[in-house]
Amino acid sequence: MRLEGMPAGHRLRYGPAAEGIERLEASLVGVAFSPHRHDTYAIGVTLAGVQTFRYRGESRHCLPGEWHVLHPDEVHDGAAGTGDGFGYRIFYIDPALVQEALGGAPLPFVADPVIRGRGVPASLAACLAGLDEPLDGFARVEVGVLVAGMLARYGAGRYGSARYGRRGPLPMAALARVRELIASDPVVRRPVEEFERVTGLDRWTIARQFRAAYGTSPTRFRTMRQLDLVRRLLLAGTPAREAAVGAGFADQAHMTRMFKRAYGRTPAAWRAALP
């Protein structure tokens, strides 16, 4: 990817997705991402330029060929380290896919987000390099296994136990019911008593163990599913105000604030960056 001479701005290109996997190629010249956080793992490689970002209170740099691994719900920004801008490709991996490979262990947490290219499985790198190639069912499983193995290798302790303070298996069947209930209709704000009823767990246990399983809270998970709906509506040509109401936000201003906190750009800037 060559960035010299490109006009200032933010360019996005998505590859074919699969359940739990989104792939993106992006370039930034003369602009930056504001602080934001995803509810997915963000695992990417710098292709050109110097990528800089703040993560867990420290400034980081990622050079061409180097990878970065950001944990769900960790605030970060993104900018070019030079005036030439930077380009990268990235996976957004649903923690539930990692959970399928881990078998119910708490999610691994990688404290140092920059990984040299040789530390990334070659087949995982190839999957991102082939951005325009579709991901079939087995490729999806392979990505989940490779990502889980890499995260466990670089994480704190075998399965990130230093962060979550728990080594035993999580009640994944019960937690999956909470997740599925939210995802089935994120526009609906469900009472905590409903989660307790479908899981047989108390609200405090649900809150702690949902985060250990999926890297975020049930409330945050719902917000991100609402924003997924907003993105689909915007791509379909729905006006932002109608998209906000249709996704269950109080108004367009509320949706815009949540969108920027999730993606580092306003809905209008995100839509303008797409082909």
Q: Residues of the chain whose pLDDT is less than 50? A: 157-162, 164-165
Element housing 45 (H / E): strand 41-49
Tell me how far apart the alpha carbons of residues 24 and 59 are, in angstroms, rounded to a whole number.
23
The 3-state DSSP class for residue 236 equals coil
C-alpha to C-alpha distances, 209 to 31, 48, 88, 106, 162, nearest whole angstrom: 38, 39, 33, 8, 15
Strand order in the sheet with 114-115: 9-14, 21-29, 86-93, 41-49, 67-70, 114-115
pLDDT of residue 21: 96
pLDDT of residue 160: 40
Element housing 36 (H / E): strand 33-36
- Determine if residue 9 is left, alpha or beta; phi over 0 gives left, psi from -120 to 50 gives alpha, anything else beta: left
Tell me how far apart the alpha carbons of residues 231 and 150 are, in angstroms, rounded to a whole number.
30
What pTM did the predictor assign? 0.89
Residue with tokens 């999580």: 170
Tell me how far apart the alpha carbons of residues 105 and 155 are, in angstroms, rounded to a whole number.
13
